[in-house]
Amino acid sequence: MINRRTLLTTALTLGAMKAFPGLSYAQARPLVFATFTGSWEEAHKAVLVPAFRKANADASIVLDPMLSVDQIAKVNAARANPPIDVMLHDPGPALVAIGQDLVEPYPVEKSTYYKDLIAEAQEPMGPAPFFQVVGLTYNPDTVKTAPTSWADLWKPEFKGRVGITNLNSTLGTGWLVEVARMHGGSEANVDPGFKALEALKPNLAAVAANPGALATLFQQGQIDISPGNFNAIQILKARGVPVEFVAPKEGAIAFKTTIHVVKNSPNRDFAFKLIEAALSPEVQTTLMNSPYLIVPTNSKVSMGGEIARVLTKDTAELKKKFVFQDWKKINEQRSAWIERFNREIKI
- Give residue-wise pLDDT tens across range 98-125: 999 999 999 999 999 999 999 999 999 9
* Nearest residue to 260 (alpha-carbon basis) of 115, 65, 77, 105: 105
In 134-173, which positions are buried (b, 16+ CB within 10 angstroms) versus exposed (e)?
A: bbbbbbeeebeeebeebebbeeeebeebbbbbbbbbbbbb
DSSP assignment of 247-293: --TT--EEEEEEEEEBTT-TTHHHHHHHHHHHHSHHHHHHHHSTTT-
Burial category of 343 from C-beta neighbours within 10 Å (exposed 0-12, middle 13-18, buried 19 and up): exposed
Is pTM beyond 0.85? Reply is: no
What are the percentages of helix, strand and coil residues in the chain, rounded to 5?
50, 15, 35
Band (265; pLDDT cuts 50, 70, 90)? very high
Whether the per-residue pLDDT at 23 is higher than 60: the answer is: no
CA distance 15 to 208: 39
Residue 2: CA atoms inside 13 Å, Cβ hemisphere, count?
6
- Cα-trace Rg, the chain: 20
306-328: pLDDT as tens digits: 899 889 999 889 888 899 999 99
Whether the per-residue pLDDT at 25 is higher than 50: the answer is: no
77-89: pLDDT as tens digits: 999 999 999 999 9
Measured over the CA atoms of residue 69, residue 109, residue 295 and residue 235, the dihedral's sign is negative
Residue 300, SS3?
coil
CA distance 137 to 218: 9
Q: Which residues contact 202 (CB under 8 A, 6 or more apart)?
A: 159, 160
Band (28; pLDDT cuts 50, 70, 90)? low
Amino acid identity at 265: S
Band (234; pLDDT cuts 50, 70, 90)? confident
Cα torsion for 276, 86, 209, 97, to the nearest 10°? -110
CA distance 225 to 205: 10
Section 5-22 average pLDDT: 44
Amino acid identity at 192: P
Give the Å distances, CA to CA, from 198 to 154, 191, 202. Answer: 11, 11, 9
Are the CB atoms for 68 and 89 separated by under 8 Å? yes
Q: C-alpha angle 86/89/94, rounded to 5°?
A: 105
Section 200-226 average pLDDT: 93
- Residue 257: phi and psi, rounded to 5, are -115, 125
Burial category of 18 from C-beta neighbours within 10 Å (exposed 0-12, middle 13-18, buried 19 and up): exposed
